[in-house]
Amino acid sequence: MWIKQSPAFLILFACCLTPCCRSQDIDRKIHPKPGAWDTLKLVNTAPTSNDARNFGNAFPIGNGRLGAKVFGVPAAETIPLNDTTLWSGPGPEHFDSPAHHEALLATRTALEVPDYVKADQLVRGMEGPNTQFYEPLADLHLTFPGHDAYTNYTNTLDLDCATVTTRYTAAGPDGQPTTFTHEMFVSYPAQVIVLRLTADHPGALTFTAGLDTQQHYGHTTVSANEIAVTGRAPIHISGPVVNAAIEWAPGKGTSLEAILHVTAKGGHIASGEGNTLSVTNADEAILIISAATSFNGFDHDPATQGKDPGVIARSYLTKAVPRSYQSLLDEHLADYRGLFRRLWVSVNGESPDKNAFAYQYARYELIAASRPGGGAPRNEQGIWNHDLAPHYSSNFTLNENPEKFYVTAEPANIGETVEPLIDFVNNLAVNDAITANVDYGTHDADRGCSSNYQGLLRDSQVCRITLCN
C-alpha cells in the first residue's frame, strides 16, 4: 500500500489485498455446536409458480459455483441452473481513456470556481459503458404424466442439510395413491448437482427429463442415458434496460457445456421426443448434472484462451456416476455441515425463533453462493439467475453488495466464504492500476509519469501508485 498526499486529494491504493489467513492454512477442525438443527426448515404447502415474478421465491441450492432453483411443481418442473463463471462479453476489455483524465481536470477546475452544476456535467465524461451480464446456464425439465392432481404436498428447504425435498401423493400407474419424493442438493466436493426421484410403490416412477439452454451457437446430444448441451454466452448485452439488445457471435464469448446423466433402478430408460430421456416404471431414478464454462481467468479470452468446458464437466461426471446416492449425500453433508454447524443461534433460549432463523438463512445462502474455487464471489442475485438480461446485470455492484452480503461471514464463523471476494479484488487491482494511471493521472513510482497508454495495457502489474503532478 502506498499513500501520497496531494493538494487535491489523498490516494490510498492497496495493490495486493491478502486475507489474514486462508482456509487451507489453518486448522478447521471445529466441533459442531449443539442445537435444534432439525428445526431449520422452510416448508411450502403449495408449489411456487414457475414464472419470472416468483423466481425469488423458489428454493435456492448451490455449492459456490453451481446453483439451482427449485419451484417444486409436481407435473411439470423446470429447474434453472447456473454457473457463476458464465457472463456475457467478448473477453477482457479496457475502457480506460485519456479523455477521462481530461474530464477529471476540467471537473476540478469547475469545483474551484465553484460551479457545481458544471462540475456535475463534466464529471460524467469519466463514465464508462455498462458492465456485462451474469447469464443463465441451462434448464432441467421434468414431466410426470398424471401428476397434475396431487394431495399431501410439501416442498422443504432444509438449511441443515442444504437439500430441497418435494413430496406429494398422486395416482400411480395402477391408479393407486402413491407418494413421490424428489430430493436435490449441490455437492461441493463432487462438483455436481444430484437429484433422486423415488416412489413408495414399485415400478410407479414414470417421467421424461430434458436439458436445454437459452444460449446460442450450441447443440444437444442425446444418448441412451445422457443429454449434453453446449452453447455460448452473448458477446454484448445493452442495458440494463427493458428489452435489452442481446448479441451473440459464432466462435466468440464464453462457451458452456452441461451434461445430464440418468440411472434407474428397475424400469426402462430410452431417448424420447424432442431431445429428452424417458424413464418408465422405475422404482428409483438418480439424475446427476455436471457443467462447466470456458472461463479461464479475468485476463484470458474465454474463446481463444479458454478452458474446455466439456472436458471439465465430463471429469466431474465420470467420478460421480459410479457412486451411490447415499455416498454422494454423506460426503455433501459432511462438507456442508463442517461449515454450517459451527454456530448455533438462539434468542432467549427459544428455538426456533424467526430472527435466529433469518440469521441462519443468511449463513446458508452465503455458503451456497460463495465457496473457494468457485470462480467469482456472490453477485447481486446470489448465483441464481434465469434472465438473459437480469436486473442490474446481476452484477457485483461493489459500492454496496459485498458489504451487505458478506457482513455475516466472519462473525458467523464461515470466513472461507469471503475468499472468492478477496480473489476478485486482487484481480480487480490489476486493472485498477491501469485506471489509476490513465483516468486519474497516477504513475508507477519507479517509472515516472507515462503517457504510453498501450504500454500500460501490456504491463498492467502496476502496484505502487503515486500522483502525477
Contact between residue 364 and residue 340 where contact means Cβ atoms under 8 Å apart: yes
Q: Is residue 169 a contact partner of residue 150, using CB atoms and an 8 Å limit? A: yes
Rounded Cα–Cα distance for residues 317 and 125 (Å): 49
Residue with cell 462447466: 292
Q: Which residues, other chains included, contact 100 with Cβ-Cβ below 8 Å and sequence gap of 6+?
A: 125, 126, 128, 438, 439
Q: Per-domain residue ranges for the chain?
A: 1-30+418-469, 36-89+133-412, 98-131
- Name the stretches of the chain with pLDDT < 70: 1-30, 240-242, 443-469
Q: What is the pTM of this model?
A: 0.88
Distances (CA, A) of 294 to 67, 134, 248, 258, 423: 17, 14, 16, 12, 19
Round to whole Å and give the CA distance between 89 and 306: 14
| Three-class secondary structure of residue 277 per DSSP | strand
Helix H or strand E segment including 29: none
pLDDT at 402: 84
Considering only CA atoms, which of 246, 306, 238 is closest in space to residue 91? Answer: 306
Q: Are 167 and 154 in contact (CB under 8 A)?
A: yes
- If you ran DSSP here, which 8-state letter would residue 147 be given? T
The string of pLDDT tens digits covering residues 15-31 is 333 333 344 444 455 67
**Cis ω before 7 (30° cut-off from 0):** no
Question: What is the CATH architecture of 36-89+133-412?
Answer: Distorted Sandwich (2.70)
Number of Cβ atoms within 10 Å of the Cβ of 250 = 10
Output the pLDDT for position 14: 34
Tens-place pLDDT, residues 150-196: 999 999 999 999 999 999 999 988 889 999 999 999 999 999 999 99
The residues facing 169 across adjacent strands are 151, 179
Distance, in Å, from the CA atom of 383 to the CA atom of 135, rounded to the nearest integer, reads 10
The rounded distance, in Å, linking the Cα atoms of 272 and 184 is 23
Confidence (pLDDT) at 29: 54
Q: Is there a contact between 77 and 142 (Cβ–Cβ < 8 Å)?
A: yes
